[in-house]
């Protein structure tokens, strides 16, 4: 545990959310260009920038650019090292899990060695929901807010239990495809299959606790999803709806049961599914509304929107 009030740099949007959930927003001296929740953090010094634009590039173009950069052992992010050193942080929160999600851990460590004072670099590596809860407790231990972290985790766990208990007796568990990228199509991994299971869906299409991987038309057709939820990493609903007309979805898409039934949904992936922070619980609650409106009520448009068939093409 650090003495006094630590000066915190968060190089992960999820870590920023954790820090704020623990009541430490005033300790947050630097964030990333993607940190936008809670809204009150907007305007704090941004210490990263992306070399890839979600706004101007298609799903396929982004995938190609990411693969090209990483295959060449480059990075898709810039880290503003001089600005970070000037902030004199005591604690830097980062990750090694995914070089597509944030600036690389190696780069952060190298930058930290240049500091004139000791700074602790902590890598948060969640693969499951319980790992996310463990990260909240870890940040609590590092910052002297263990009690608050315990309260946050207890509240989040109770909300998940409430969803699980509500669907425990239902025999209908629709086959759910959570699509983590549009083109190429990605099957879900990490905590997303858990969110599906908790929400009362079949989560067989995905690998809980493992990285997401590309999938194909044959695998999707064989699964025959009854519900499709579009969660391309880093996208909001508006981004998804803008990208869809230019994305080529897997062959046979129009014949999937979910598409024929009008059960294709767009959600704020970056808020509730991509970021391993407290709001993954809200993601499970939104999924429960999509899968079981007879129990939880329909999701409102701030939570999820049905995707018109005309927007999707193969």
CB 72 within 8 A of CB 99: no
8-125 belongs to which CATH class?
A: alpha beta
110's CB contacts (< 8 A; 6+ apart) are: none
Domain 170-311 has CATH 3.40.50.1980: yes
Neighbouring C-alpha atoms within 13 Å toward the C-beta of 148: 14
CB 228 within 8 A of CB 265: yes
Identical topology for domains 8-125 and 170-311: yes
Q: What are the sequence ranges of the domains in the chain?
A: 8-125, 170-311
pLDDT per residue of the chain (314 residues) written in tens, 0 to 9: 565 679 999 999 999 999 999 999 999 999 999 999 999 999 999 999 887 766 667 777 776 666 665 444 446 788 899 999 899 999 999 877 555 555 665 666 666 665 656 788 888 889 999 999 999 999 999 999 999 999 999 999 999 999 999 999 998 999 999 999 999 999 999 999 999 999 999 999 999 999 999 999 999 999 999 999 999 998 999 999 999 999 999 999 999 999 999 999 999 999 999 999 999 999 999 999 999 999 999 999 999 999 999 999 99
Tokens of 39: 């809204």
**DSSP SS3 for 245:** helix
Bridge partners, residue 213, by sequence: 187
Model confidence pTM above 0.75: yes
Helices 280-291, 146-167: inter-axial angle, 10-degree rounding: 10
CA distance 26 to 28: 5
């Amino acid at each position: 545990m650090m003495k006094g009030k630590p000066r915190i740099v968060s190089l992960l949007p999820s870590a920023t959310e954790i820090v704020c959930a623990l009541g430490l927003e005033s300790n947050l001296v630097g964030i990333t260009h993607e940190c936008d929740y809670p809204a009150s953090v907007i305007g704090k010094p941004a210490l990263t920038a992306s070399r890839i634009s979600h706004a101007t590039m298609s799903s396929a173009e982004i995938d190609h650019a990411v693969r090209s950069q990483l295959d060449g052992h480059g990075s898709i992010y810039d880290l503003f090292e001089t600005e970070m050193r000037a902030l004199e942080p005591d604690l830097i929160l980062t990750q090694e899990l995914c070089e597509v999600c944030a600036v690389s851990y190696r780069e952060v460590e190298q930058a930290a060695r240049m500091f004139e004072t000791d700074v602790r670099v902590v890598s948060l590596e969640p693969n499951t929901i319980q790992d996310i809860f463990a990260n909240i407790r870890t940040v609590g231990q590092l910052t002297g807010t263990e009690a608050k972290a315990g309260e946050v985790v207890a509240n989040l766990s109770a909300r998940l239990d409430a969803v699980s208990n509500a669907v425990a007796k239902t025999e209908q568990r629709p086959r759910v495809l959570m699509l983590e990228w549009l083109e190429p199509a990605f099957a879900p991994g990490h905590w997303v299959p858990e969110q599906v299971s908790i929400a009362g869906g079949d989560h067989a299409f995905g690998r809980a606790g493992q990285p997401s991987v590309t999938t194909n038309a044959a695998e999707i057709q064989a699964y025959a999803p009854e519900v499709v939820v579009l969660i391309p990493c880093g996208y909001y609903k508006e981004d998804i709806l803008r990208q869809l007309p230019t994305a080529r979805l897997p062959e046979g898409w129009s014949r999937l049961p979910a598409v024929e039934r009008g059960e294709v949904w767009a959600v704020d992936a970056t808020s509730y599914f991509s970021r391993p922070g407290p709001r993954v619980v809200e993601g499970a609650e939104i999924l429960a509304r999509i899968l079981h409106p007879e129990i939880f009520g329909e999701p409102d448009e701030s939570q999820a929107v049905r995707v018109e068939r005309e927007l999707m093409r193969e």
